[in-house]
């Protein structure tokens, strides 16, 4: 089916070849004929790599060993998660259209600063989240960089019990922020007296979050 589609595309007025077709065949098209021949060397070279990913870098091996190259490539998934975090899951930044270059740069800077803050918060709050907070133990369970990623025993325990190490319920980053949003600061006036500021008392979960963030709740 792929070859048939390629040949039909060759018969178009522009004589266009698909990228996959052009790699393996020499095609000659005239006003009345169509002929082709296989590129045996190219086919053999691709067959030798069939089922493999090839990662190439211009960095010398002494600077960036093979294992680090593979891990860096696999780290691209973090970039994809960052975009999802910006657009939907955490920051929910709506599309904003700018016409001036300085405004585009300013908007991008604010988005990156916001993500920088949320990333560090998630790293600090990891023991309270579903996130694997023991990355070193997880890495030790990985036989090689090309092997499937593994989670740490601590992460497996959290996933099984849905509880933190100290028995508190686990949160996602979004639900933990929603929990922290229940803290209030009210100004109350009783009769003709001066107004009084009343702060809500943090729960055990909220206190733990402040502790991990290195913050002190006002009293």
- At what angle are helices 173-180 and 101-125 packed, to 10 degrees? 90
40 with 65, same domain: the answer is no
Q: Give tens-digit pLDDT for 186-197.
A: 898 888 888 888
Average pLDDT of the chain to the nearest whole number: 82
Same domain (yes/no): 21, 114: no
The torsion angles phi and psi of 204, rounded to 5 degrees, stand at -60, -40
Same domain for 8 and 64, yes or no, is no
Whether residue 14 contacts residue 29, with contact meaning beta carbons closer than 8 Å, is answered with no
Contacts of 96 (CB under 8 A, 6+ apart): 107
- The answer to whether residue 66 scores a pLDDT higher than 50 is yes
How many domains does one find in the chain?
A: 2
CA–CA–CA angle 188, 191, 195 (5° rounding): 35
- Verify that 138 and 191 share a domain, yes or no: yes
**Is the same domain home to 142 and 40?**
no
Mean pLDDT of 60-86: 84
For residue 18, the enclosing domain spans: 2-48
The tens digit of pLDDT for each residue in 113-144 reads: 988 998 999 999 999 999 888 888 888 888 88
Domain limit, last residue, from 11, 28, 48: 48
Which residues have CB under 8 Å from 119's CB, separation 6+? 82, 85
- CA neighbor of 207 nearest in space, from 218, 193, 198, 196: 218
Strands 25-29 and 34-38: antiparallel
Question: Which residue bears the tokens 């979004």?
Answer: 174
Which pLDDT score is estimated for 15? 44
Do 183 and 202 form a contact (C-beta atoms < 8 A)? Answer: yes
Q: Are residues 162 and 191 in the same domain?
A: yes
Q: Give the pLDDT confidence score for residue 48 in this predicted structure.
A: 86
What does the pLDDT look like over 8-50, one tens digit per residue?
Answer: 444 443 345 555 667 888 888 888 888 888 989 988 888 888 8
Would you place residue 6 in the very low, low, confident or very high pLDDT band (cuts 50, 70, 90)? very low
Indicate if the pLDDT at residue 208 is higher than 70. Answer: yes
pLDDT for the residue numbered 73: 86
pLDDT score for 124: 93
Q: Any idea what the Cα angle at residue 152 is, between residues 159 and 53, rounded to 5°?
A: 110
| Mean pLDDT on 42-67 | 85
Q: Answer yes or no: are the C-beta atoms of 125 and 176 closer than 8 Å.
A: yes
> pLDDT class for 176, splitting at 50, 70, 90?
very high
Residue 41 and residue 66 share a domain: no
Interval 187-214 mean pLDDT? 89
Q: Rounded to whole angstroms, how far apart are CA atoms 168 and 205? A: 7
Structure tokens at 52: 């493999």
């Amino acid at each position: 089916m792929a070859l048939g589609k390629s040949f039909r595309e060759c018969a178009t007025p522009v004589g266009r070849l698909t990228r996959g077709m052009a790699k393996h065949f020499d095609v000659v098209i005239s006003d009345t004929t169509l002929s082709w021949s296989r590129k045996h060397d190219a086919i053999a070279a691709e067959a030798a790599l069939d089922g493999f990913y090839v990662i190439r870098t211009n960095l010398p091996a002494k600077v960036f060993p093979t294992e680090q190259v593979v891990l860096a490539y696999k780290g691209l998934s973090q970039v994809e998660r960052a975009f999802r975090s910006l657009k939907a899951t955490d920051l929910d930044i709506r599309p904003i259209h700018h016409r001036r270059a300085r405004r585009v740069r300013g908007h991008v800077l604010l988005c990156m600063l916001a993500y920088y803050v949320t990333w560090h918060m998630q790293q600090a709050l990891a023991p309270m989240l579903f996130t694997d907070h023991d990355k070193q133990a997880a890495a030790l369970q990985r036989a090689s960089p090309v092997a499937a990623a593994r989670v740490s025993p601590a992460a497996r325990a959290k996933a099984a019990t849905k509880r933190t190490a100290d028995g508190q319920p686990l949160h996602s980053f979004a639900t933990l922020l929603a929990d922290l949003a229940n803290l209030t600061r009210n100004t109350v006036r009783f009769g003709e007296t001066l107004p009084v500021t009343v702060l809500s008392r943090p729960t055990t979960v909220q206190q733990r979050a402040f502790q991990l963030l290195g913050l002190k709740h006002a009293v």
